[in-house]
Structure 1
Amino acid sequence: MAWKTLDDMDLDGKVVLTRVDINVPVENGQVTDDTRIQRILPTIRDILEAGGMPVLLAHFGRPKGQRVPEMSLSVVRPALEAALGSPVKFAEDCIGGPAKKAVAGLEKGDVLLLENTRFHEGETTNDGSFAASLAALGNVYCNDAFSAAHRAHASTEALAHLLPACAGRLMQAELTALETALGDPERPLVAVVGGAKISTKLDLLGNLVEKVDHLVIGGGMANTFLAAQDIDVGKSLAEHDMADTAREVLDKADEKGCKIVLPSDVVVAREFAAGAEHQVVAADACPPDAMILDAGPETVERITDIFERAKTLIWNGPLGAFEIEPFGAATNAAAKKAAQLSAEGKLISVAGGGDTVAALNKADAAKDFTYISTAGGAFLEWMEGKDLPGVIALSD
């Protein structure tokens, strides 16, 4: 798939409508995590350096087409100004008089933030007239919100058809990383998929077994696969009603030549609590009154050995209940190995998903991964092999 970048556009003197994701957490009127703001800075700065005037389009929360004061993007403006190190102008609407007046007053060097696009129902319904009202404000459209690209909304899809369009730096980095990982990867290609339920990741597993050489399955999902093979998992979290589906995935993997890696040993405990008494047992020896909460050391050794021989790694989901010690040991050890190999230039590693990023940060491994996606649903849908409306709209 081909798409244009900022380097392909003439931005000098142009108003660049720039779709960003700054849907950041806020408490007591203060932004508590500015990661998403930091990730859009290269795009804003490159537009400014090229002589363009970035006008930021974004959503905040789910106001459902209503003007909800506590969901105003004005709350994000101070954090955006602090990150940029310069003032940011603000318009109290994203279309109409306030927006037109603010855009008309722009000079080179200015950055303008428009009010929450979701204050208008036409945003989420991908309404053509609403998109046209947005398009009337600018000369160029730049989408830098990969995390919203799986939604066919006016500011992510329809607008791209109305103006010369390109990907911003964050979007460009996301697409390049994912294309490297799944489009034309260096092999062997390994995927780690963890999490609680197989039912939420059926499409993901179905797509991956056709594309990867090894599929490592962890978390509660692994328990379901063990149970599907008539292994007693005690009181472990498992979807016993998904046994047939799990077996279908195993059969498909065998047919496609994908080797599925399930725990051969596990960490079990009688209670799910920090510091709970626990023990390592074979995967088929979970006591009836215990629950599997992590993969064991033998399994970790198998996983890291696979990493050693791999060229590309995709990671989504933890291997165990990493939030509570000591049940994050497997995730920590595997993540540290992947990070080490990546830092040494031996492995291309791409990871994404909320729990995944949290787990890798906890293991102090995220900084050495080749790429960490800040997208949630969009990252997952890309891995599932689905077309993303916001990406398709940018294609040449």
Structure 2
Amino acid sequence: MGWKTLDEMDLNGKRVLTRVDINVPMLDGIVTDSTRIRRITPTVKHILGAGGRPILLAHFGRPGGERRENLSLKQLIPTLERAFEAPVKFAADCVGTEAEMAAETLQPGHVLLLENTRFHAGETKNDPDLAAGMAKLGDVYCNDAFSAAHRAHSSTEGLARLLPACAGRLMQAELTALESALGKPVRPVTAVVGGAKVSTKLELLSNLIEKVDNLVIGGGMANTFLAAKGYDIGISLAERLMVDTANEIMAKAETNGCNIVLPVDIVVAKKFEANTAHETVALDACPSDSMILDAGPESVTAITEVLKNSKTLIWNGPLGAFEKEPFDAATNAAALKAAALTRAGQLISVAGGGDTVSALNASGAAGDFTYISTAGGAFLEWMEGKVLPGVAALDQ
């Protein structure tokens, strides 16, 4: 761990430029889900409590380098003030004279929100001049936006190299959880990877095979692997052109001593609809006019046995078509087992990316997982073994 935490920084009297992710959903000017705001609140409150003056940098939507009033961060002020329990001032730009004056005159106990960084085209190009303009506003840089750490932008990578830098509370939690799951995990380690396509998770699978003891493959991806093993999968969602790749992954797993866990029984239906007629059949009994929509109960038993013999779990993606009942059964059962093992202190469980959060929330298991990341792309790139520019810049 080369990055510093807030606890290691002298914040008293300092202007703390804090990169956050408050790219929240809105409807008619009202925030409809304030999860991201709640998750950065501990960082803001810590800075205030330490005598620092938080100055927030954030993007909102995709303005493409143009000023668009419907994507102004100003509309978030009431929600931010409720969350922080502190006055939030606003500057109509994230660089320049007005922003510099607002930063200089910011009173202790107050928070300053700067306008959408992506109103500047240079933000996504990591323009050094834009980063230098931002750096004029602060004395310390704090990155609390792990979800944007996989992008080398002016406010995530460039700025971190210009000021004394540290990770915020949310960033610290993300990095600590991921380090415990993949960096220096307690073994045996199991990864659950689901989703529709092998092609979108090739790098992920290749990296995990070298780092985990068990790899559970579910969802549409499992169908491709079953086809590679010679099973008739009917009209199931699969990437038939990826069969050779699936065989290569299985061969590489065997070489690395990684146990790949595929379904041993399947739930099939003729239509992809909620509560449609369905049946559970053996792997070699998929009707030619049906599609595989979930793993069966014997598969769940096999997966739970693997989980019971694991110490660390990384979860990304559902085991079946969880959006439609009853094809959420395998995902729910395995997730609840992982949650119970975690609650009992027998398992460290880290999950994130894409549909994973929705699936675990729907199952009722999310609250008992050790850590659930909402970072999406950054979480996946970390699992793929990639260097995240926003994190690397803190490792100075």
Q: TM-score, normalised by structure 1?
A: 0.99
Deviates more, 1:278-287 or 1:246-255: 278-287
1:48 maps to what in 2? 48
2:393 maps to what in 1? 393
In structure 2, what is the Cα distance between the partners aligned to 1:223 and 1:82? 47
In structure 1, what is the Cα distance between the partners aligned to 2:135 and 2:143? 13
Deviation string, structure 1 residues 150-178 (Cα, Å, up to 9, x no partner): 00000000100100000000000000000
In structure 1, what is the Cα distance between the partners aligned to 2:100 and 2:188? 53
In structure 2, what is the Cα distance between the partners aligned to 1:235 and 1:76? 47
Q: CA deviation at 1:149?
A: 0.2
1:162 maps to what in 2? 162
In structure 2, what is the Cα distance between the partners aligned to 1:76 and 1:231? 53
2:237 maps to what in 1? 237
Is structure 2 residue 173 aligned with structure 1 residue 173? yes
Q: CA deviation at 1:38?
A: 0.5
Deviation string, structure 1 residues 73-123 (Cα, Å, up to 9, x no partner): 112222111212232111111111221121122111111110000000111
One-letter amino acid matched to 2:22 = I
SS of 1:284's equivalent in the other structure is: helix
After the TM superposition, list the runs of 4 or more consecutive aligned residues in structure 1 that deviate by more than 4 angstroms: none
One-letter amino acid matched to 1:352 = G
Is structure 2 residue 2 aligned with structure 1 residue 2? yes
Give the alignment of 1:1-396 within 5 angstroms: 1-396=1-396
One-letter amino acid matched to 2:249 = V
Does the 8 Å CA contact 2:86/2:109 hold for their aligned counterparts?
no
Deviation string, structure 1 residues 120-164 (Cα, Å, up to 9, x no partner): 011111010100000000000000000000000000001001000
Does the 8 Å CA contact 2:269/2:290 hold for their aligned counterparts?
yes
One-letter amino acid matched to 2:159 = L
In structure 2, what is the Cα distance between the partners aligned to 1:247 and 1:28? 50
One-letter amino acid matched to 1:238 = A
In structure 2, what is the Cα distance between the partners aligned to 1:83 and 1:167? 20
One-letter amino acid matched to 2:156 = T
In structure 2, what is the Cα distance between the partners aligned to 1:69 and 1:110? 24
Deviation string, structure 1 residues 288-334 (Cα, Å, up to 9, x no partner): 00000000000000101111110000000000000100000000000
SS of 2:17's equivalent in the other structure is: strand
One-letter amino acid matched to 2:150 = H
In structure 1, what is the Cα distance between the partners aligned to 2:52 and 2:86? 16
In structure 1, what is the Cα distance between the partners aligned to 2:239 and 2:108? 57
Does the 8 Å CA contact 2:181/2:314 hold for their aligned counterparts?
yes
SS of 1:357's equivalent in the other structure is: helix
Q: CA deviation at 1:394?
A: 0.2
SS of 1:350's equivalent in the other structure is: strand
In structure 1, what is the Cα distance between the partners aligned to 2:2 and 2:145? 17
In structure 2, what is the Cα distance between the partners aligned to 1:163 and 1:315? 35
In structure 2, what is the Cα distance between the partners aligned to 1:86 and 1:101? 20
Deviates more, 1:162-171 or 1:94-103: 94-103
Unmatched 5+ residue regions in structure 1?
Answer: none
Unmatched 5+ residue regions in structure 2?
Answer: none
One-letter amino acid matched to 1:391 = V
Deviation string, structure 1 residues 273-296 (Cα, Å, up to 9, x no partner): 111000000122110000000000
Deviation string, structure 1 residues 245-291 (Cα, Å, up to 9, x no partner): 10110000000000000000010001111110000001221100000
Q: Percent identity over the alignment?
A: 69
In structure 1, what is the Cα distance between the partners aligned to 2:301 and 2:340? 15
One-letter amino acid matched to 1:227 = A
In structure 2, what is the Cα distance between the partners aligned to 1:69 and 1:284? 58
